[in-house]
Amino acid sequence: MAKKKIALIGGGQIGGVLAQLIGLRELADVILFYIVEDMPQGKTLDIAEASRIDGFDVKLKGTNEYKDIDNADVVIITAGLPRKPGMSRDDLLTTNAKIMKSVAEGVKEHAPNAIVIIISNPLDAMVTLFQKVTGFDHNKVIGQAGVLDSSRFSSFIAWELGVSVKDINAMVLGGHGDTMVPLVRYANVNGVPVMEQLERKYGDATKAKEVMDAMVTRTKKAGGEVVGLLKTGSAFYSPASAAVAMAEAILGDQKRVLPSCVYLNGEYGVDGYYVGVPAVLGENGCERVLEVTLNDEEQAAFDVSVNAVKNLVADMERLGF
Ligand code: TXD
């Protein structure tokens, strides 16, 4: 089987960890694109020079030219700036939309058959814009948020219950912002509801609910918690891991069910927007949306989140994108 190729657009914190993880897993050859001369070349050289030590055998190449992403099977985009002090949300939206537009034009021209995973913030808007500029099939343009948000939620549950995180299944739906919806009722430890385990632990339903509410709140604010500690940037190890899991599912045609920001055509009562829901990821990108039954409270929370996404997209359109 011919070696696969992943192109990374953006060579910052997440881009660097992505290149290293893809190398370590021998998932594909890597092209790291960034506009600043020599920087992507330096980063990929540094990672490649560890290949003897770590025992991986893929090609890693840095580039300043879009033509080098030719024939990429998967493109992962992290290009964009984080918000700086004094910058409004609209300022950030304008800055990153400009960057995303130029990236979309480059990818459209040089990797028109790729499946694209977008990480850049504001996520739901950037995914929408990329698809609009390229005209790529909706199933081939996917955003990363839910895999990470769900992993964060799962980690908090595992730490609380003192069990392996490998045995936790928990999912977060909705947009990538404060309105995201951690699905408490479906969260389980190898099939056993987490709420049941919490009630057994505390012997008290009210206390169990309080503990769960705190984990839900922490999940929603988890990105900010890391920013607050790092002070100079946002999370980068875990978003990279999340995108690699998605790329692995796509390249290996694994049909994994991963919460992803995908285009809805009426599913969950949403038509024509990118929103985080469980999706079957395989060689065609998002191959199917998995619907789950939501109760009234969950549906109401999901609707709030969908409205936040709609407002974000409307803001972007108002700004001329
Ligand atoms: O889960 C998620 N989706 C996220 C998203 C979790 C954490 C962070 N998330 C967002 O990812 C974050 O808010 C940023 O928008 C992106 C990338 O985060 P990272 O930490 O990697 O940011 P850096 O280190 O600032 O890197 C951004 C890169 C850097 O190489 C820039 O120079 C590059 O973007 N950049 C460009 N690349 C290509 N083309 C253009 N025009 C360009 N402009 C900037």
| Domains of the chain, CATH where assigned | 5-145 (3.40.50.720), 146-321 (3.90.110.10)
**Ligand 1: centre distance to CA 158 (Å):** 30
Which of 9, 21, 10 lies closest to 241, judged by CA?
A: 21
Pairing of strands 60-63, 5-9: unpaired
**CA–CA separation, 108 and 130 (whole Å):** 9
Q: Which amino acid is at 281?
A: L
Place of tokens 């964009």: 80
pLDDT in tens, 155-174: 999 999 999 999 999 999 99
pLDDT of residue 88: 75
pLDDT band at 46 (very low <50, low <70, confident <90, very high): very high
Residue 289 three-state SS: strand
| Total residue length of the chain | 321
Q: Which atom of ligand 1 is nearest to the CA of 16?
A: 21
Percentage of the chain beyond pLDDT 70 is 99
Contact at 8 Å (CB) between 185 and 213? Answer: no
Percentage of the chain beyond pLDDT 90 is 93
CA gyration radius for the chain? 20
pLDDT band at 83 (very low <50, low <70, confident <90, very high): confident
Pairing of strands 141-143, 115-118: parallel
Q: Which atom of ligand 1 is nearest to the CA of 242?
A: 1
- Cβ–ligand 1 contact at 78 (below 6 Å): yes
Q: Average pLDDT, stretch 118-134? A: 97
pTM over cut 0.95: yes
- Cβ–ligand 1 contact at 239 (below 6 Å): yes
Checking if the pLDDT of 87 tops 80, the result is no
**Ligand 1: centre distance to CA 96 (Å):** 9
Checking if the pLDDT of 47 tops 90, the result is yes
pLDDT band at 37 (very low <50, low <70, confident <90, very high): very high
- Cβ–ligand 1 contact at 123 (below 6 Å): yes
**CA–CA separation, 49 and 247 (whole Å):** 24
Pocket test for ligand 1, best of 17, 44, 81 (most atoms within 8 A of CB): 81
Q: Average pLDDT, stretch 50-63? A: 97
pLDDT in tens, 183-231: 999 999 999 999 999 999 999 999 999 999 999 999 999 999 999 999 8
Pocket test for ligand 1, best of 39, 105, 119, 133 (most atoms within 8 A of CB): 119
Catalytic residues: 176
pLDDT of residue 316: 95
Checking if the pLDDT of 104 tops 90, the result is yes
**CA–CA separation, 12 and 183 (whole Å):** 32
Contact at 8 Å (CB) between 177 and 308? Answer: yes
pLDDT band at 1 (very low <50, low <70, confident <90, very high): low
**CA–CA separation, 15 and 25 (whole Å):** 16
pLDDT in tens, 68-80: 999 999 999 999 9
Q: Which atom of ligand 1 is nearest to the CA of 236?
A: 20
Checking if the pLDDT of 20 tops 80, the result is yes
CA-based end-to-end distance of the chain: 41
pLDDT in tens, 300-314: 999 999 999 999 999
**Ligand 1: centre distance to CA 184 (Å):** 31
- Cβ–ligand 1 contact at 259 (below 6 Å): no
**Ligand 1: centre distance to CA 76 (Å):** 11
Place of tokens 């992507």: 40
CA angle 210, 216, 218 (to 5 degrees): 105
pLDDT of residue 111: 98
pLDDT band at 3 (very low <50, low <70, confident <90, very high): confident
Q: Tell me, letter by letter, the H, E, C secondary structure of 63-90.
A: ECCHHHHCCCCEEEECCCCCCCCCCCHH
pLDDT in tens, 254-281: 999 999 999 999 999 999 999 999 999 9
Q: What is the mean pLDDT of the chain?
A: 96
Q: Quick one: DSSP state of residue 4?
A: P
Checking if the pLDDT of 82 tops 80, the result is no
Q: Which atom of ligand 1 is nearest to the CA of 145?
A: 1
Query: Please, which residues have CB within 8 angstroms of residue 93's CB and are 6 or more apart in sequence?
Result: 122, 125, 312, 315, 316, 319
Q: Which stretches of the chain are assigned E, i.e. beta strand?
A: 5-9, 29-33, 60-63, 74-77, 115-118, 141-143, 168-169, 172-173, 181-182, 188-189, 192-193, 256-265, 271-282, 285-289
